[in-house]
Structure 1
């Protein structure tokens, strides 16, 4: 492997989160991968005041693209966790020339014409009881305990900072052709203690994604930030 200091790592968070979820991962990175950009998607995190019922994954992809454009970033290692994998895939389809590697961490593997709810009916079932009765276009956050985080400061921080998710992020079909990404270096990192994405990881591997596993729950950036940082930097400095 050869170090490539000109790389830019872009970390895309998942449902209900914000750029803050990556704090411990960023702190664990050695700098070998180059610059790190950590956008917060519209309507979430410190941008929660911008929440709107028309927000979908395409708007969130635009958030990331604008972050990249204003940073004059290229040779991007684009990392998406959970729902962020869908956003990252849309970004990579739109600006493939800027993407060195696409990394999905325990997240959705997009398919043209299908939404998150189409791909995972079980997630629709999980989210239906979470719809805000006064604003049914909002999916209220799952508690940390449902995502495998044990009681403690991390779980408290998670539950204090997560915010409602516009339902169109999950109900809007993915419009891009994932075949555009076959020339991009693609990686899928599965969190082995979270069963929902087990079949997705296997499908990604069959489609030619390089696979790596971390023995932890879904919120790997809290439970194994050092190991996740190591894997991201390894990909960012990989030759070929």
Structure 2
């Protein structure tokens, strides 16, 4: 007999698992949908002293009273924090920990560290925000220890809700309880006891997560993810947003049963380096000059030449070696531009987490200033080419295109913040900024096998561009995946890469 202990995210209680619990019980499992102290129908038990440790003890006491030999404990969103705390206290009772659309908190991490929405962060860290527990005005009677529960239109700040039925979203809103602030600000305390337990990650693709993304981060050598390359660690994907227990309970229940049986995708051991597939276009091995964060690939020319600045994606963990400008993809693009008569420019920027877009934008602007000042560059003819998560950095240049910017290009880009990326802020929204781009030429290369959540941002951008009659050329690579230069056979992507480069250089020379 397997017992499932189900722990949901902030503001909610055991009621949110109703449909999932029913499916698990039908399979013969023992199920414990948990309502933590101060939540759901236990909200009256909350007080200023209700914190993360309170919720950890709730789960420890429950585990101590579960008789089933195998306990699978599931943590959704905030719920993973008390789940890990309790598993660390009772490791001998836990057969598997399931991370359901949840982060990977470490010892000392408070839950608010994983909150990606800036408004929520500000509300968490600044109790005197003028809100009462019900969101209706100034806090009274010392209620600043409570975080108001979201209104109907605020749930998307925590993650995607587009797939949640309207009645379920209304029920979520009506039954939500204010969250004791200290549950989100008190650091999680873990020993080594929890590190050896089997785990499963359930990734919700409509919320921007995927197995492919995790694999790429592991391959890049993110030290936080090394533990994921372990036979005891498995993964599943769900085509769902942040609340799969509400949007697809049958599918989630099936995944939890498979996770309990030890099934799922396992990552293979990587060596912590960027993929080494050769650039899909044969280009000569031209030399480069390195100036700080910037590399220049110079054509054989006597007069100043136009430049193409290639901006890598992210977020990427700090300390990745080699850095993006040394990856075959960006070395290839730099050489390719130079071989065709333009100055190819690559750079490293500081997009190490979602809060890093501002710093990355500063790095890109500084690189452009350096390049335009170089006497070998025609500073009045510059193209900017963005990749993947770097696509959001195009917004500044689309919103107010300078006269010297002759083209903006983007390959398999993210062109709107993904659900739950509120910390990125409104500045980095190319799908909005394109309405101010005028007749600036835009060359967009789409991967036909793109991840659905990322493809949706591209479609949002294309729709906005069509509405405002922006000068967008769309190049499709039907058999290509996200990051196609590094993972797809050259014959699947060569035509798209060559087409995009011809278009960009044509706009520079026009």
Given the two structures, how large is their TM-score scaled by the length of structure 1?
Answer: 0.86
Aligned residues: 233
Q: Do the aligned residues in 2 keep the contact of 1:108 with 1:200 (CA within 8 Å)?
A: no
Q: State which of 9, 12, 21 in structure 2 corresponds to 1:17.
A: 12
Q: What SS class does the counterpart of residue 72 from structure 2 fall into?
A: strand
Larger radius of gyration: 2
Q: How does 1:65-214 map to 2 (within 5 A)?
A: 65-117=60-112, 119-120=113-114, 122-123=116-117, 125-129=119-123, 132=132, 133-134=138-139, 135-145=143-153, 146-147=155-156, 148-149=161-162, 152-177=166-191, 179-195=192-208, 206-208=226-228, 209-214=233-238
Aligned to 2:261: 237
| Structure 1 residue runs without a partner (length 5+) | 1-5
Q: Among 226, 231, 243, which residue is 1:219 paired with?
A: 243
- Aligned-pair Cα RMSD in Å: 2.7
Contact 2:13 2:36 in 1 (8 A): yes
- Mapping of 1:36-47 within 5 angstroms? 36-47=31-42
Q: Is the 8 A contact 1:86 1:108 kept in 2?
A: no
Is the CA contact (8 Å cut-off) linking 1:25 and 1:226 kept in structure 2? yes
Q: CA deviation at 1:33?
A: 5.8
**CA deviation profile, 1:163-210 (whole Å, cap 9, x unmatched):** 100111111111113x42232110111212224899889677642242
Distance 2:262 2:28 in 1: 10
Q: What is the alpha-carbon distance in structure 1 between the residues aligned to residue 210 and residue 37 of structure 2?
A: 25
Cα distance in 2, alignment partners of residues 45 and 156 from structure 1: 15
Structure 2 regions of 5+ residues with no counterpart? 124-128, 133-137, 264-510
Between 60-69 and 220-229, the greater mean CA deviation after superposition: 60-69
Change (3 A) 1:115 1:200: farther
* Distance (Å, rounded) in 2 between the aligned partners of 1:8 and 1:121: 30
Partner SS for 1:41: coil
